[in-house]
Chains A and B, each alone.
Chain A
């Protein structure tokens, strides 16, 4: 009886470990997210990061960020931030979208120093932050190599 209880306890504790790790994420990422938003953690969702799944050159990886937003006068995206946490500088770029911007969408090309998840954050006009990400595999890396 005792053994069974101990086993059950151990099993549930073990099962909870990856979940917890996922929820708390890594402390460096949390600190970075809080620094960008100025406090709140972004909610997951509404942000699409569109990249080729396999980029053969990390020096120039096309990225399209699209946010689920009507872009009306009352409900719109005000800011988009691109993060590449395994680059020497994790904040790649920040964009401010003014009232004339008609779509919550931008495209650019970025450098990736490693195989990693490219993350984008969006700040809505109600002050809420949302985020999404896509894992990109890079066969030739940028930044740390010469040339």
Chain B
């Protein structure tokens, strides 16, 4: 799964940084019907977890009400240099992950 994660490369100690996540995914609702009249099974990214140096920073439980190609933005305080990890799973069991390093100067 293609994903674009935006984390600033550098921040000052104590600065608030904005994190943006956009993942390419249809977020299939389970309410659509295909050309043969069959229901298309639900397939959404139901869980997304963000960690910084192993500790949980942010997590999302999502349903069919989240738009396709889910986008998320939140704000984190830069306290020390380290690595963010982003991990997500969809209903089909497909997993995706990304990493981003933040350097506190």
Contacts and interface: CB of A to CB of B under 8 A. Distances in A.
Say if A and B assemble together. yes
Contact of A100 (B29, B32, B67, B76): B76
A99 B50 CA distance: 12
In this complex, the member of A84, A93, A142 whose beta carbon has the largest number of chain B beta carbons within 10 angstroms is A93
Q: How large is the interface on A (under 10, 10 to 19, 20 to 34, 35 or more residues)?
A: 20 to 34
Given A108-B71, A143-B31, A146-B32, A101 B76 contact: yes
Chain B interface, DSSP helix/strand/loop, else mixed: strand
A93 B77 contact: no
Contacts of A108: 66-67, 70-73
B64 interface: yes
A93 B62 contact: yes
A43 interface: no
Given A93-B65, A96-B59, A100-B79, A88 B52 contact: no
A139 interface: no
A44 interface: no
Contact of B16 (A92, A96, A103): A103
Interface of B: 16, 29, 31-33, 52, 55-68, 70-77, 79
Interface of A: 59-61, 82, 84, 87-89, 91-103, 105-111, 142-144, 146-147
In the A-B complex, list the 5 residue pairs whose CB atoms are closest, starting with the nearest: A92-B65, A102-B77, A103-B75, A60-B67, A109-B67
